[in-house]
């Protein structure tokens, strides 16, 4: 009898040790936990297999690495709320009366003063969080053989085939001459052009036009000419601030009623040529 009691004790101890060695997972509202702790908020996960991104959007998980996922089953950082199917992935940060040294370096708080702002502790003082994204700065010109680029009569025409000098945000397509706004704001645009020499008579004019989203003309800069009987070069420029929303497209175009036919821009491929450097574009995000 004594030996039987001892055997049962050892069996119980061995069973406990074996259970402690198992990789246990806990599920709340789900019998199919995907991590160490898995809470299915809407109780809509499948009984087997991996939940879809839509089903996981209302879930909270804790991984074996101690990472927390909110709406995402595989968090990449300590707290990850980047749900693929959740339109509200924001994280609320509140106020604190703690000093920066007490909160410690790396702490984040919301400060409602002066209109409200986010701050972080550097261990000594609360510093303002300032975002300084790389702004769009497009500089481009046309390098093409003379008479290669032509503007038809009374037809607003976009300029393509630009030589890109600067575009750190990669928002300008030099092939089409179309710029896509990376952020909502004001963009300062400067555009210059020059045509080859032609006879000028009264009533002729050319326009630089700024076209948004392919059809909306937001700016026109008109160059008209008095009655003269000799040949001259028709040139123009346009500098304007253009309000663009994120994702809006912008393209400079030229309209000419100077010549009843295709009128060539004054261009060349060599910087040593007298016809080089007359068609230029710059777009500066303000």
**In the structure, what pLDDT confidence band is assigned to residue 228 with cuts at 50, 70 and 90?**
low
Q: Of 178, 171, 186, whose CA–CA distance to 242 is shortest?
A: 186
Q: For 8-40, what is each residue's pLDDT tens digit?
A: 555 555 455 444 444 589 999 999 999 999 999
**In the structure, what pLDDT confidence band is assigned to residue 162 with cuts at 50, 70 and 90?**
very high
In the 8-state DSSP scheme, what is residue 153?
A: B
Domain ranges of the chain: 24-85, 94-131, 137-285
CA 59 remoteness from chain centre: 28
Q: For 178-200, what is each residue's pLDDT tens digit?
A: 999 999 999 999 999 999 988 77
Q: Is the pLDDT of residue 232 over 60?
A: yes
Confidence at residue 234, expressed as pLDDT on a 0 to 100 scale: 86
CATH dotted code for 137-285: 2.60.120.40
Confidence at residue 132, expressed as pLDDT on a 0 to 100 scale: 82
Instruction: Decide: helix, strand or coil at residue 169.
Output: coil
Give me the mean pLDDT over the 241-258 stretch: 96
Q: Is the pLDDT of residue 241 over 90?
A: yes
Confidence at residue 22, expressed as pLDDT on a 0 to 100 scale: 46
The residue assigned the tokens 């009374």 is 154
Joined tokens for residue 234: 């028709």
Alpha-carbon distance 30 to 42, whole Å?
10
DSSP codes joined into one string, 154-166: T--EE----EEEE
């Amino acid at each position: 009898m004594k030996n039987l009691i001892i055997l049962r004790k050892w069996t119980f101890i061995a069973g406990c040790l074996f259970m402690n060695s198992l990789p246990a997972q806990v599920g709340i509202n789900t019998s199919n936990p995907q991590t160490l702790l898995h809470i299915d908020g809407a109780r809509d996960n499948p009984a087997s297999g991996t939940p879809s991104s839509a089903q996981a959007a209302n879930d909270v998980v804790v991984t074996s690495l101690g990472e927390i996922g909110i709406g995402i089953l595989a968090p990449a950082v300590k707290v990850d709320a980047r749900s693929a199917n959740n339109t509200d992935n924001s994280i609320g940060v509140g106020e604190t009366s703690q000093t920066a040294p007490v909160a410690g370096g790396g702490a984040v708080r919301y400060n409602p003063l002066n209109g409200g702002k986010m701050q972080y502790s550097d261990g000594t003082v609360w510093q303002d969080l300032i975002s300084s994204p790389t702004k769009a700065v497009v500089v481009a010109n046309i390098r093409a053989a003379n008479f290669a680029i032509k503007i038809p009569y009374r037809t607003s025409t976009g300029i393509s085939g630009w030589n890109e000098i600067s575009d750190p945000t990669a928002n300008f397509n030099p092939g089409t001459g179309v710029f896509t706004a990376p952020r909502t704001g004001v963009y300062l645009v400067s555009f210059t052009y020059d045509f080859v020499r032609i006879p000028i008579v009264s009533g002729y004019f050319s326009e630089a036009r700024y076209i948004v989203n392919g059809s909306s003309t937001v700016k026109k800069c008109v160059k008209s000419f008095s009655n003269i009987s000799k040949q001259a070069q028709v040139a123009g420029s346009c500098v304007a601030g253009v309000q663009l929303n994120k994702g809006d497209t912008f393209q400079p175009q030229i309209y000419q009623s100077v010549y009843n036919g295709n009128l060539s821009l004054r261009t060349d491929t060599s910087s040593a040529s007298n016809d080089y450097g007359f068609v230029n574009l710059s777009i500066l995000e303000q």
